[in-house]
Every structure is written in structure tokens, then in C-alpha cells.
Structure 1
Amino acid sequence: MQLPRLQSAALLRRYKRFLADIELPSGEVITIHCANTGAMTGCGEEGDTVWYSTSDNLKRKYRHSWELTEKANGELVCVNTARANQLVHEALQQGKIAELAQYKTIKPEVKYGTENSRIDFLLQANEPQTALADCYVEVKSTTLLTESAVGMFPDAKTERGQKHLRELIQMRQQGQSAVIFFAALHSGIQRFQVAEQIDPHYAALLKQAHQAGVQLLCYNCDYRIENAIPTALWLNHAIPIQL
């Protein structure tokens, strides 16, 4: 996925969930929008390098958006949660997710379930004669990294995430296929583990979903750097999941 043109600055603080103050190389301080509503543990600390994009929409109150964080060790983290769905959509279209490559029809944001949910992607086979069930795919942006290169989700308690797991379990009970897809957007993540210490209820539901036949996938990502500026990222390959 090609990234918008990015510029860098130093993070001063993140506040009110959606806002962050950054210091430009010129010394000017500006406020930018942050699309990530999570805790952003380890990827939004004072002094981190922020890579931000600029919108052409002059009506926006905050024209700049926080896209990536660069850590002191050079690791990159995509903190714009909207990018996770875009990455997965692109990979599905290109057949890059081997476990889901048999599906040819991709329908984003489809209403489903008994709790008034929208599935990120409904996948269907093109051939009506096939016995392949519809597949419901829920995507989760994963940025929390432990010292042992393990990525974790969630980084905060998530009632919304719990609801999604209940919905996927119901889809399996109805004979459909279901997938929870963790997009590991921190370049340091090499393995995945549910963050039981942060949200034990989510962890218990994830294990219940797995036992019910919901498929768990986690793919890491790669970044392209040109002239010291991140210009693109893409899903790379599946990494091990430990429940």
C-alpha cells in the first residue's frame, strides 16, 4: 500500500484520544489528528518521531494526521487504525493471504449478526456450485509489542472487540466460516499472543471462538523506505499465534 506523502516531527504529547502536539524541525508546534483510539502503549511516547500526512481538505479543523511512529531503534509502527483494513483489503484483492485466497468476492462493511454489527469483510466464492461457505473476516490493528518481539491485542479493554467475537462465534454456529485477522503493524512483531492481562474477558472469548472453529490469523508487515522516508507498507506473511 502506497502511503501518502509523509513528513516527520517530534511527539510532544497525545491527549483527548484524538489529538497530539508535535514539534516540527523548525521548532513550530502544531496539533494533529490521531485516528487511534487505543492506549497506543509503546508507540506514542514523548520524543518519538511522528510521521504525519497532510490533507488537501481546507475545511478540516486539523489538516494533519498521525500515520506512523518511528522508535529510537528504527522500528516503525502504523498507528492509523484505518490502514489495517486497507492493507487487508489490498492483500485479499491480490490473493496474498493464502488462507483466504479461494474467495473471489470481497464485500467490505456488511451488516450482520444479532448485536447490530458490521463485518469488515464478507468473502464469497464466485462459483455458485461450490460448497464453500461465506467467510466473515474481522480485522484488528495490532501495535502493542513486548520485549520478546511478541505482539499483543488488545492494548486496552475492548467491549467492541468482545462483541465482534460473540458475533463470529454465532456465524460459526450457523455453519459459516469466520476469521479474526490481527494485522501486526509494528515492524518488531514476530509472534502474537492475546493480552490476557489487559482484557481477560476478551482473551477468554478469543479462546472460546477458536474452540468454536473461528480461524485466527496474524500477519506481520514490511515497510519501504526511500530517501529516509517511509513510502509504503504491506502485509508480509503469517506469524505464530499463542493463545
Structure 2
Amino acid sequence: MDYVKGIFKNRPNRFIAEVEVDGSLEKAHVPNTGRCKELLVDGAAVWLMPSDNPNRKTKFSLHFVENRGELVSLYSQQANSIVYDAIKDGKIKELSGYSHHQREKTVDNSRIDIYLANEEDDCCGMSFLTEPCYVEVKGVTLIVDGEARFPDAPTERGAKHLKELIKLKKQGNRCVVFFLIQHPLGSFFRPNWENDPVFSQTLNEAYDEGVEILVYKCDNRLDGIDLVPESLDFDLGKSFANGIVND
């Protein structure tokens, strides 16, 4: 991909960033609805993908920002693609062995990011799916003292997805919430109790009900993003400056 380097100046709303490119102020689409306030600061170097679509309101999309010497991916929807491709390629051992892979499975009023199952044939030669597994993917960019935390802003939608997984788990399905750390400095995961206690509590409830939690990180480069094939640890308790409190 041919990225254009720019300098972040301002974010007038969650979808638009004002960036300086070759001395001119341009508008760029921000493909991440999180606050990202610790990343998108005045003067930060950003990497933009230009668009030749004449119907677009912005000439660029903001894909990467440099933070503490590292390249951070802000393209939140790309997290789903990275995880999906890694599952199909057998790079996530906990989710290997499935023969059926599907993106955006509709369940009631929600869409789960990834649906996995095994395809089998009955005695009449008809195919059917068994051992269903539902995977919801969350991209994580907020890093606090090496801890990756999600969300960086309250997300009712995120809590709704967790409740859907809880319901599916109670129906006998395998369910997984997958946190993909998109900042190279993250080496451990914890829910963001301070920013969103509702999501954090719901995540604890989901885990208690048997919903699995997987944490991986990605290797970010301008010529491509790859999943690092090693799972990371997590803790669901609250974290404070003077220590950790597990409720």
C-alpha cells in the first residue's frame, strides 16, 4: 500500500481528523470510533491511505499513528479481517480445526463477527454444521503501563455483544470474545473499569458463564499487518495506581 505521511492537528468529530500533508491542511476519515485521545495528539505523525473516489468527502483515511516510537493501527474494522484470516490460516491454535468459516453471522438482532463450525454429511449425503463457535472481535489501542485496556470510551454496543454471547453460551454453543491488541507496546489485557464499568462487569459475567477470552496482538508494518501467533495473559480485575484489586 502506498501510504502518505501527515501530521495530526485536530479531530473535530469522531469520524474526521484534520491533518497536515505537505504543508496543506486536509481532512481524513478516522476508521475508529474510539476516543484515541492518547494517540491522536497535535503533532503526532500519521499514515494516510489516499482515495481516488470522487464521491468521498475526504481524500484520505487515517490508518496508522506513531506513538512512543511504535506504529499503531487505528483501522478498527481491519481487526476482524486479521483475526478471520489468522483463523483460516491456522495461526490461532485455540480456534483451529474448524472446516466452516463465516464472517458477520446474524443472530437475533445482532451480528457476531465470526462464526465457526464443522461441516459434516448425514447418511443421505446432505451437509450440516456441528459444533458452532461464535467469536466477537474487539480491537484494542489504549495502553496504560504496558496493559492493553478496552474500551477507551463507554460502549453500550460492546456490552450488548457480550450479553448475546452469554445467551448463545447458555444455549450450548462455544463462544469467544477476542481482544486484538493493535498497539505493539501492549503485552497484557485488562478491561477498562474506569472508563466503562458496565462493559467490564459484563465481561466478568460472560467469563463466569463460560465465554472464553482470547488475547493476541498484531505486528504493524506499512506493508502489512500480521497476527503474532502467541496468546497473551489477561486479568479481569480492577487496576489502580497503588495496586490491583480483584473483585
Q: How does 1:79-94 map to 2 (within 5 A)?
A: 79-94=74-89
Conserved 8 A contact 2:120-2:130: no
User: What residue is the counterpart of 2:154 in the other structure?
Assistant: 157
**Residue of structure 2 aligned with 1:204, choices 187, 201, 206:** 201
Shift of 1:132: 5.7
TM-fit CA distance, 1:22: 0.7
Residue type at the aligned position of 1:70: E
Offset of residue 41 of structure 1:
3.1
Please list, as runs of the form range in 1=range in 2, the aligned pairs for 1:1-243 lying within 5 A after superposition: 4-24=1-21, 26-71=22-67, 73-113=68-108, 116-127=109-120, 133-146=131-144, 148-224=145-221, 230-236=222-228, 237-243=230-236
Give the CA deviation at 1:126: 2.5
Q: CA deviation at 1:56?
A: 2.7
How far apart in 2 are the matches of 1:140 and 1:131?
Answer: 26
TM-score by length of 2: 0.89
Query: Would you tell me which structure has more strand in proportion to its own residues?
Result: 2
- The 3-state SS of whatever aligns with 1:38 is coil
Once the 2 structures are TM-superposed, how far is the Cα of residue 77 of structure 1 from its aligned partner?
1.0
Q: Distance in 2 between matches of 1:181 and 1:128?
A: 30
Deviation at 1:90, TM superposition (A): 1.2
Distance 1:238 1:202 in 2: 22
Gaps of 5+ in 2: 123-127, 237-247
Q: CA deviation at 1:139?
A: 0.5
Greater relative contact order, per chain length (Cα 8 Å cut-off, separation 6+): 1
SS at match of 2:119: coil
The aligned amino acid for 1:65 is S
Give the length in aligned residue pairs. Answer: 230
TM-score (norm 1): 0.91
Question: C-alpha distance in 1, partners of 2:121/2:37?
Answer: 46
Provide the C-alpha distance between the structure 2 equivalents of 1:104 and 1:54, rounded to a whole number of angstroms.
37
For the residues of structure 2 that align with 1:82 and 1:211, how far apart are their CA atoms? 28
What's the % identity of the aligned pairs?
37
Looking at structure 2, the residues matched to 152 and 182 of structure 1 have their Cα atoms a distance apart, in angstroms, of 9
Could you say if the C-alpha distance between residues 218 and 175 of structure 1 is closer, same or farther in structure 2, counting changes exceeding 3 Å?
Answer: same
Quote the RMSD (CA, aligned, Å).
Answer: 1.6
Alpha-carbon contact 1:133-1:175 (below 8 Å) kept: no
Amino acid of the structure 2 residue aligned with 1:238: S
Q: 1:33, CA displacement in angstroms?
A: 0.6
Q: Indicate how the Cα distance of structure 1 residues 61 and 174 shifts in structure 2: closer, same or farther if over 3 A, else same.
A: same
Would the aligned equivalents of 1:7 and 1:51 in 2 still touch at CA under 8 Å?
Answer: yes
Q: Secondary structure at the match of 1:241?
A: coil
